[in-house]
């Protein structure tokens, strides 16, 4: 009963101060993996750079700026996984670059979270679902991987922004760890480990909705965080959108 009253008081305070706005920035430890020797292209689309999640729950506005943090995450992740990374704004530009063995295009498909009110007053939990499209050097789709990051953080004090931001960072780190560890075991990872170009043998009809290999593992929680279960995918979230589209 006390937890419920506290949650109601917290929501009232948030509604009065204009809601919750966060901008999670990843903090990745030094990767204990040997970079693959291949030179690869990293495509970060403009919509990825400006991506944000907005929704309203119980009269409170929640806004999560995902773009800047995920640009940094993508750069750090692929530089840790590969020996040489060249960044591009689209696949077409990357396909014209000489010497690439593969082209990667990370995307965020879903961001969802559970508040302390929904977890019984103790935790904030975040789920982020990613898709990483893999292209051959000529720009033909070779494969597509999905992976999900989970994160949680204890609810402390009257702040909702800090634990939600911590849980978001943990989810980003979780997904990065899965990719770093598991991608080298994929068929494309083995080719790149041998410094061989990826070939479009498993191309899907549509990069955004075709069949995808799944990279998954047991969720990773940062030190000091609770091992709370992953947040539910429901209730349905408002769609992710670029910042310029949301304004």
Query: CATH classification of 2-246 is 3.30.160.150, yes or no?
Result: yes
Residue position matching structure tokens 């990613």: 130
Domains in the chain: boundaries? 2-246
Q: What is the pLDDT of residue 121?
A: 72
- 203 within 8 A of 140, measured Cβ to Cβ: yes
Residue 158's pLDDT band (boundaries 50, 70, 90)? low
Summarize the confidence of residues 22-39 as an average pLDDT. 85
pLDDT-derived band of residue 155, with 50, 70 and 90 as boundaries?
confident
Digit-coded pLDDT (tens) for 120-140: 878 899 999 999 999 999 999
Above 90 in pLDDT, residue 177? Answer: yes
What's the rounded Cα separation, in Å, for the pair 167 and 126?
A: 6
Q: Which residues contact 180 (CB under 8 A, 6 or more apart)?
A: 31, 33, 77, 80, 81
Tokens describing residue 115: 């508040």
Mean pLDDT across 5-27: 63
> Which residue would you say has higher pLDDT here, 112 or 233?
112
Q: In the predicted model, is pLDDT for residue 165 greater than 90?
A: yes
Band the pLDDT of 19: cuts 50, 70, 90: confident
- The pLDDT score that the predictor gives to residue 241 is 57
- What percent of the chain is predicted at pLDDT more than 70? 72
What pLDDT was estimated at residue 12?
A: 46
pLDDT at 134: 98
Least confident range of 28-32, 74-78, 237-241? 237-241
Confidence of residue 97 (pLDDT cuts 50, 70, 90): very high
Tell whether the model's pLDDT for residue 223 goes beyond 50: no
């Amino acid at each position: 009963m006390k937890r419920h009253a506290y949650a109601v008081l917290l929501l009232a305070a948030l509604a009065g101060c204009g809601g919750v706005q966060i901008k999670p920035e990843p903090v990745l430890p030094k990767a204990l993996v040997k970079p693959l020797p291949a030179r690869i292209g990293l495509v970060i689309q403009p919509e990825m750079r400006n991506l944000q999640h907005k929704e309203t729950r119980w009269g409170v506005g929640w806004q999560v700026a995902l773009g800047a943090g995920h640009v940094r995450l993508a750069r750090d992740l692929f530089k840790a996984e590969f020996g040489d990374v060249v960044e591009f704004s689209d696949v077409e530009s990357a396909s014209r670059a000489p010497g690439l063995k593969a082209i990667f295009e990370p995307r965020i498909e879903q961001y969802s979270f559970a508040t302390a009110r929904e977890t019984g007053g103790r935790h904030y939990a975040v789920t982020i679902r990613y898709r990483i499209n893999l292209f051959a050097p000529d720009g033909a789709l070779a494969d597509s991987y999905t992976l999900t990051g989970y994160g949680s953080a204890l609810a402390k004090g009257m702040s909702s922004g800090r634990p939600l931001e911590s849980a978001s960072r943990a989810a980003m780190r979780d997904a990065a760890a899965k990719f770093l560890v598991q991608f080298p075991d994929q068929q494309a990872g083995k080719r790149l480990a041998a410094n061989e170009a990826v070939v479009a043998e498993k191309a899907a009809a549509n990069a955004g909705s075709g069949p995808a290999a799944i990279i998954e593992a047991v969720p990773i929680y940062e030190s000091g965080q609770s091992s709370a279960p992953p947040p539910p995918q429901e209730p349905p979230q408002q769609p992710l959108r670029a910042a310029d589209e949301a304004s």
